[in-house]
Structure 1
Amino acid sequence: MPQFFLNKRLIVLLISIIILVALIGFSLRERSQPSWPEQFVKDTSGWVQSLVSKPTQYVVDLFGNLQDLQNTYQENKQLKTRVDKLASLEAQVQKLEKDNKQLRDVLGEKKTLSDFKPLPATAIGRNPDQWNDIIVIDKGKINGIEQNMAVMTATGLVGKIKSVNQFSSTVQLLSALDPKNRISAYIQGEANAYGLVEGYDAEKKQLLVKRIPYDAKVKKGQTVITSGLGGVFPAGLLIGTVESVKTDQYGLNQTAYIKPGANFYDIEDVLVIKRNATQPAASDMGAQKGENL
C-alpha cells in the first residue's frame, strides 16, 4: 500500500513537471495576440496610468500656462516701454533731420560724409570652409555695385564688396582674417575717440578696434560707428558696442573689443551702401595698393 502511494506521488510530480514545461514553452513562443491574463494586466495597468497621468498633466500644463502668461505680461510691459522710447526718439530724429536740412540749405552744403544710397541685396552663396570670410550676393555691375562699397544688415555693418561680377558680387566680412581689411571707426562718447577696426577674435566673437589713443576715455557700452574719414565708407554706419578695453604692452594705444551689431554667422538680406560724398584716391590717403580704410 505505501508503495502505491509513493508511485502515485511520483506520477503526479512527473505530470506537473510536464505541464510546467508545456506552459513555459507556450509562453515563450511567438504569438500575434497576448493571452487573456496578459491582456487583462496590460489593460488594467494602462487604465490606471491614464487615470493618474491625465490629472497630473493637466496640473502641469496649468502651471506652465500661468508661467507663460506671466512672462508674456512682463515682455509686453518691456515692449511698451521700448515703443514709448522709440516714439520719442523718432520725434527727436525727425526734428534733427529737419534742422540739419535747414542748416545745410543755408550753408549751401549738398553732401556730407554720412550721405549714402542703400541698395538691397540677398546672400545667395556661402562656402562652409570660408564661412567667416566671404558671402556672395545677387547684385553686380549691372546694378551699380562697385568694389569696396560697404555692406550691412538692418543691425550693423558686415563687410565690404571685394569683387564684382556682372550679376553677383563677393562680400568680404569684417570677421575675415585679412590685415588689409581695416575700417576707420569712431567711438561715441563725451570726447571723440577714433581707431581702426583691425582683426576679429573668433573665440569671443568680437571685433578689435586698435590704435585708440592711450588717454581716450573709452567705456563699455559705447557705440562704435564708421567715421567716414577713411574715404571709402560713409559716416554713421553702426559697427557695434564696446565690451572691454585694454592698453597695449607699451602703453601708447588702447584696443577695444567690440560686440558686432550684425550677426556674422547668419546673414540673409543686406544693404549695399553707395557713398554720395566724393571718394578720395587711395594714393592721396596714403594707403597701399589693395588696401582701404
Structure 2
Amino acid sequence: MKSKSPIGIFDSGYGGLTVFRAIADKLPQYNYIYLGDNARSPYGDHSFDTIYSYTLECVEWLFALGCELVILACNTASAKALRSIQQLDLPKKYPNKRVLGVIRPTAEVIGNYTKAQHIGVMGTRGTINSKSYLIEINKFSPAVVVHQQSCPMWVPLIENNEHLMPGADFFVKEYVNALLKQSNDIDCILLACTHYPLLLPKLKAILPDHISILTQGEIVANSLVNYLNRHPEMDSQLGKMGQKQFFTSGDPAAFNAQASVFFGEELKSLKMH
C-alpha cells in the first residue's frame, strides 16, 4: 500500500488547518490525513517532555495509518518535539519515514522580508521560551536581530471564537505594543503560531503600514514542494487522488464546527481511535 501513502499533517488543535489549507491549495493532487489533538490542546504551556510525548504519540498514530511523511503544522511541537523525533525515534524505529516542521522553512526565508534587519516573532509561551526561532534564524540570517513576544491569550480567544470580538482588542494591542517597545526598527512580524492568521484583520488595523506581517502557510507549502522535488523516492510513495481525511482526539462535532473557520470550508472529522 506504500503507493497510496497519504501525507500526515498534525497540530495540537485547529491552527494547523491554516497550514493545511495552503498546502492543499498548492498541492491539491495528494492524499492527506489531518490530526488535531484537541483533547489535550493547547500545547503552548506544557513542558518539553509532555509535548514530546504527545507529539510522538500522534505521529506514530499517523504512521500506523500509512503515512510515510508527516508535517508538524504546529510551532510548539516543532520547537519542542521535532528534533528529538528526528534524531532519536526515526533512526531506531522508522528509518524510512520522515517528519518535517514549520520552524526551519520559515527561518530559511524570513531574512528576505526585512530591510531593517529587525523582525518580531509572536508565538505561544512554549515556542518563545524554546528560543527555536532565535537559533534557526541566526543560522540562515545571522545579521537579523530577532525580538520575541509570547501571546498566551491569543489561542484561547481564537479557539473560543472570540478573536474578532471587541473584547479581543485589549489583548491584541497589549502584546503588539510589548513587542514594538523592544525596538523601533522592527519592519516584519512573524506570526509564529498557526492560529494567529485569524487575527490578521485586527493586527493590520493597528500596525503601522511599514511593518509587514508574515504567516506560515504559504512558506511551508512552498517548502514542501521543494522537498518533494528533491526527494522523488518519497514522492513516488505518496497517493495522488486528492483525498482529505480529518481526525480529532476530541469531539468530532465540536471540531467540525470550529475547524471550518480555519480551513475555509465545511468538513467532517472522525474520532481518533
Question: Which range, TM-score by smaller chain?
Answer: under 0.3
Question: Greater relative contact order (Cα 8 A, min sep 6): structure 1 or 2?
Answer: 2
TM-score by length of 2: 0.26
Highest Rg: 1 or 2?
1
TM-score by length of 1: 0.24
Compare the two structures and name the one with the higher helix fraction: 2
